[in-house]
A and B are shown apart, each in its own frame.
Chain A
Amino acid sequence: MSARDRILAKLKAAPNLPKPEPDVAAWFAGHRPVESTAEKIARFRKHIEFAHAEVHAVTPATWLAKLREVLAERQIDKLLVAEDTPHGAAALDELPRQGVECPTYDLPIEAWKTEMFRATPAGLTAARAAIAETGTLILWPDAREPRLMSLVPPVHVVLLDSTKIYNTFYEATQAEGWKDSLPTNALLISGPSKTADIQVTLAYGAHGPKELIVLLMGDEQ
């Protein structure tokens, strides 16, 4: 008998004590507000800013200039972009002319892991959506915009469409039918990397990005 069979046999020999199925939907319906877009934006900002992320309201016309500005403030002249995404292509089109080098993630990580870890100061990705309740970005990294882009560079700039903010994580998973479509890696990101492991003193930039900058894309104002 394998370990698997022995473990399952022990569990099956235990008393069968079925319990009623919990009603998660009812709990959320009764305990979480459904807010307007403006309220969700405000709530999202409040929470993610509390977690030390920087948020800038931008429009399709201004976001590249704001991106250039946040990089310049930090004296960053190199930004990792995903060239097969619309925002990556737009950055690649514009920023090199303004003196920001834009390497692209076009090779598997094995080919350039050292450069990624030692010489990539910033990365640009989009968020798929966000969560107002907790101030959380949802990322589904994929072949075009891989997983390490939002993790290894010390500065992570994220584009978020302000119309794609859900009230809760639960709502996001339900509305988007996650259970039938989960990708290799789905991520919730709610601020820059941090730790309080030394004397419960909060310090940012533990292992992931030290700074998280959200460009919140809205309509022309």
Chain B
Amino acid sequence: MNAQPIHFKPSEGFRDRAKAVVDNPFLRQSFRGAMDFLMTKRAGLFPDAEELESLRTLGEQIRQYNLGKLPELLVRLEENLTKNGIKVHWAETPDEANEIILGICKQRSAKLMVKGKSMVSEEIELNHAAEAAGIGALESDMGEYIVQLAGEKPSHIIMPAIHKTKEEIAKLFHDNVPGVDYTDNVDALIQIGRKVLREKFLEADIGLSGVNFAIAETGTLCLVENEGNGRMCTTAPPVHIAITGIEKIVEQLSHVPPLLSLLTRSATGQNISTYFNMISSPRKPGEKDGPSEVHLVLLDNGRSQAYADEQLRKTLQCIRCGACMNHCPVYTRIGGHAYGTTYPGPIGKIISPHMLGLEATATMATASSLCGACGEVCPVKIPIPELLMRLREESFTAPHANPSMLGQGAGYSGLVTAIWRGWAAVYRSPALYRLVTWAGSRFSWLVPSNQGPWTTVRVPLKPAPKRLRDMLRERG
């Protein structure tokens, strides 16, 4: 039922995957339509440019302030969560995180884990690890449920099943859910999912969720959602396990309202999500529901590498709204799966290299026109285009000692570097420049008409028969 684990080598086959989507009019239409819809909704919720700009500045300040104190805040969060009765676990790698989560499951002899939407759980491939350990892991967010039924991965961090048409989902439900007649009525489809999953919430031994904000001063986990499955996963089963990246932390409760407003308005164009769920402890004596155990798993998985560099640290400001992918001309055309990483789109391009190393992701940063839309809409002002440039540099310059990133120089090519060096030399010397352009205009017939990918859709590039300087001289 689950998608095969991805052995992430996003750079391999990226062009082929991208081309397959570009050639598929249905997928193109799905993504274009959905992204246009989300962009319009977002724009409608930020009618005042001054308010938007000042709120983004505040969001950036809040995230940078909290990242500035990250080690201290993590310790404080741990202290306060522990005081509140929530058990804190730390994991450096996805394997460690899976081990912790499955360890808790085994201790409780758990058979079924229901999952609220969590991209970090996708990042660690928890579903596969659970399956291998004989524990059922069932996605309960409608989009995630659909994607899991189809044996696929989310194609968008907010709208996981955006690549599927309702007809495809109708067929999927009809084929996989016992006793369901074919219907492509969206309301009816949602009610089918509701019915199936309600029984699972009732039955589940473990509820798993992500975290949108963890508040250090109060020891509180905050979750943003519309469906209510997040509340189900965190309230109905006897054990709740939350998992989050170490960067999703704020020092103060007062930091949450501005970030929440930025998050929901940027993500789906909502003033606020239907539910904002703040969890500060397991069930207290006398309380009649809620889990008796709550755990938090803090995952590093490369985030500390980004943290170590002042510029790359900005990557960690992200609040995972997805606005950068909604506004990205590349994402809109190739969709989420082509990237081959858990996080697609612009944010995926800047965060994945820290998780997977540049060797696997060297070309990701080149899948961008550097149009700047992502940076312009980012609610916490991550300079994504600058970071893409930085990652290109890290990938394509010669490997050197003490690199700031794992896999630095993975995309380095001696030939390409020599060509650019030659290019730079020509432009630095007026005499050489004159010579080369003169030769170019005289010997343009030597330029091949097959110029690789360029000539598959364009006419060949040939130097003009006369140089600009010659034409100007003739004009006097």
Binding site for B on A (CB under 8 A): 2-4, 6-8, 10-22, 24-25, 27-28, 30-31, 47, 51, 105, 107-110, 113-114, 117-118, 133-136, 142-143, 146-148, 151-152, 168-170, 173-174, 178-179, 182-201, 203, 205-209
Contact = CB atoms under 8 A, between A and B. Distances in A.
Nearest to B160: A197
A17 B202 CA distance: 47
Given A3-B91, A24-B257, A174-B254, A117 B226 contact: no
Contacts of B141: 197
Contact of A7 (B90, B258, B283): B90
Interface of B: 30, 33-34, 37-38, 51, 54-55, 58, 61-62, 64-65, 67-71, 74-75, 90-92, 96, 140-143, 146, 159-162, 164-166, 169, 186-187, 189-191, 193-194, 197-199, 201-202, 217-218, 220, 226-229, 231-232, 235-236, 238, 246, 252-258, 260, 268, 271-284, 286-290, 298, 300, 304, 307-310, 313
A207 B90 contact: no
21 contacts: A2-B90, A3-B92, A10-B307, A19-B61, A19-B68, A22-B255, A118-B202, A136-B276, A143-B286, A146-B287, A151-B231, A184-B283, A184-B290, A186-B278, A196-B159, A197-B143, A198-B143, A199-B34, A199-B165, A200-B33, A203-B190
Contacts of A201: 166, 186
A175 B321 CA distance: 29
A10 B308 contact: yes
Contact of B232 (A16, A143, A151): A151
B231 A205 contact: no
Contacts, number: 257
Given A7-B90, A170-B254, A192-B274, 9 more contacts: A4-B90, A8-B71, A14-B304, A17-B68, A20-B65, A109-B288, A148-B289, A173-B253, A200-B37
A186 to B, nearest CB: 4
A189 B283 contact: no
Contact of A191 (B33, B143, B274, B289): B274
Given A31-B51, A199-B166, A184 B90 contact: no
Contacts of A187: 231, 275-278
A96 to B, nearest CB: 22
Nearest to B217: A179
A105 to B, nearest CB: 6
B95 to A, nearest CB: 11
Contacts of A142: 287
A8 B65 contact: no
Q: Closest 3 A-B residue pairs measured CB to CB?
A: A208-B228, A197-B143, A206-B227
B254 to A, nearest CB: 5
A208 to B, nearest CB: 3
Contacts of A13: 308
Nearest to B189: A198
Contacts of A169: 257, 260, 272
B278 A182 contact: yes
Given A173-B253, A189-B274, A206 B258 contact: no
Given A14-B307, A179-B217, A148 B280 contact: no
A179 B252 CA distance: 8
B375 to A, nearest CB: 19
B272 A14 contact: no
Contact of A209 (B228, B256, B260): B228
A193 B235 contact: no
Contacts of A109: 236, 288-289
A36 to B, nearest CB: 21
A193 B71 contact: no
A201 to B, nearest CB: 4
A110 B291 CA distance: 11
Contact of B186 (A14, A20, A31, A203): A203
A12 B273 CA distance: 35
Given A3-B96, A151-B228, A208-B231, A190 B272 contact: yes
Contact of A194 (B68, B199, B226, B258): B226
Contacts of A188: 272, 275-276
Contact of A190 (B61, B90, B218, B274): B274
B55 A27 contact: yes
A207 B218 contact: no
Given A2-B90, A14-B307, A200 B162 contact: yes
Contacts of B91: 3
Contacts of A12: 71
Given A27-B55, A198-B190, A19 B64 contact: yes
Given A151-B231, A185-B235, A187-B277, A24 B254 contact: yes
Contact of A19 (B65, B228, B284): B65
A60 B61 CA distance: 46
B310 A17 contact: yes
Nearest to A180: B218
A15 B276 contact: no
A209 B143 CA distance: 19
A144 to B, nearest CB: 9
A191 B280 CA distance: 23
A209 B227 CA distance: 9
Contacts of B142: 195, 197-198, 206
Given A47-B271, A194-B274, A197-B146, A10 B287 contact: no
A189 B236 contact: no
Contacts of B304: 7, 10-11, 14
A179 B141 CA distance: 30
A13 B304 CA distance: 10
A11 B70 contact: yes
